[in-house]
Amino acid sequence: MRESLEKRSFLITLAFVSIAFVWVLIPFWGAIFWACVVAVIFYPVYQKLLSKLGDKPNRAALATLFIALIIVIIPSLAIAYTFIQEGVAFYQQLDSGNINAGKLFNDVQTAFPIVNTVLERFGIDASVVRQNISATAISGSKFLAEEAFTVGQNTFAFLLSLALMIYLTFFLLRDGHRLTNLLIKALPLGDEREHKLFSKFVEVARATVKGNLVVAFVQGALGGIIFQLLGIPGALLWGVIMAFLSLIPAVGASLVWLPVSVYLYATGSWIEATILVAYGAIIIGLADNVLRPILVGRDTKLPDYLVLFSTLGGLSIFGITGFVLGPLIAALFLVFWNIFIVEFNSDD
């Protein structure tokens, strides 16, 4: 009786202390999550370096961390900085009147009279649409400018999170295998099941990050190049936007190049518009249709539609981190249900 009471009391206290510990770490969950992801991606590199350097885990982890900084972290920071700078410049052009979103809509109306017909059929006032487009363009670019100012104000907090992520990544690379074994022993889910769950986490994290980043870089670069060649203003900004939007499978980059091609048709630039449509559908679209299934869908073993919905849901809930968390949650959902079907709900 006393032993049972002590065990229950210990488990209750253990749960309370664990919840309190998680609560303390919540302010740094982003840094912790991305440290885990970076460590998972570069762990094979760490193992190779460790085999070459011998029994020197600190040196191997430090060298791996340096490679991660050069390949992933520094380029990502540079792209984000460029995106903010170009966005602020775009807002300044809108604010000064150099770019008039309402006039762009007028040009489309003039070139495609069917737009007015459709709006009238649904009882929509074209002038209201024009005002909303102008207001949305200004407010969106203003939001980006304000966010850039906020980032500048919160530079210390951002640098602190980045430093914590890099610091933790070092130890996860060096001690990750031991920590994983410790978690497998501690969690009361069954060692075989836990191995499956950890394997799926590693599999999905590597596939989504590597695959989506490669697709984003390729589509953003291809989009920026064609915009530059066609003389479209803000080619660098639109290229970075396409890179970010390409995190949305199937439709991402087309949300930029398709409306631009419509506007080019509306303003009489038929050759440029046709080139952009063909280039976007074939070249940019090919990068998504070919690379993403190879780098993401095949490795995660998730259906394309599930990758799409889980990515969109993850982005809407968790922000930029959601492009990893969304498919990860979906994959773990499938693994848990597969274990349940096989072990708990199968016919004897």
Find out whether 322 and 315 touch, Cβ atoms under 8 Å. yes
* Mean pLDDT of the residues in the chain: 75
Q: Is the pLDDT of residue 2 over 70?
A: no
Exposure of 264 by Cβ count < 10 A (0-12 exposed, 13-18 middle, 19+ buried)? buried
Question: For position 337, what pLDDT does the model report?
Answer: 82
Query: Quick one: pLDDT at residue 338?
Result: 79
What's the CA gap between 126 and 106, in Å, rounded?
9
Amino acid at 320: I
Q: Which amino acid is at 259?
A: P
Q: Residues 172, 177, 180, 182: is their CA dihedral positive or negative?
A: negative
The number of beta carbons lying within 10 Å of the beta carbon of residue 141 is 21
| Tokens of residue 245, six digits | 């939007």
Name, in order, each residue with C-beta under 8 angstroms of 331's C-beta and a sequence gap of 6 or more: 200, 203, 204, 300, 301, 302
φ/ψ of residue 302, rounded to 5: -105, 145
Q: Which two tokens stand for residue 329?
A: 């949650």
Q: What tokens appear for 41 in the block?
A: 């991606």
Is the pLDDT reported for residue 12 higher than 80? yes
Is 144 a residue whose pLDDT tops 80? no
Residues 6+ apart with CB under 8 A from 141: 87, 90, 91, 94, 95
Listed in order, strand segments (DSSP E) in the chain are none
The per-residue pLDDT for 118 is 55
pLDDT, position 127: 62
Give residue 123's region: left, alpha or beta (phi > 0; psi -120 to 50).
left
One-letter amino acid at 265 equals Y
Pairwise CA distance, residues 346 & 348, whole Å: 6
pLDDT for 29: 83
Rg (CA), the chain: 25
Residue 281's nearest CA partner among 254, 244, 304, 308 is 254
What's the Cα-to-Cα distance from 289 to each of 203, 219, 325, rounded to whole Å? Answer: 21, 11, 22
Contact 239, 220 (CB under 8 A): yes
Containing H/E element for 11?
helix 2-25
Written as one string, the DSSP assignment of 53-107 is H-S-HHHHHHHHHHHHIIIIIHHHHHHHHHHHHHHHHHHHHHHHTSS-HHHHHHH
| Predicted confidence (pLDDT) per residue in 268-317, tens digit | 778 888 888 888 888 887 777 777 666 665 655 677 777 778 878 887 78
Distances in Å between the Cα of 44 and the Cα atoms of 64, 210, 335, 341 are 9, 14, 24, 33
pLDDT tens, position by position, 178-233: 887 777 777 776 667 777 777 777 777 777 777 777 788 888 888 888 888 888 77
In this structure, which amino acid lies at residue 294? I
> Rounded to two decimals, what is the model's pTM?
0.68
Closest-CA residue to 90 (of 298, 251, 299, 233): 233
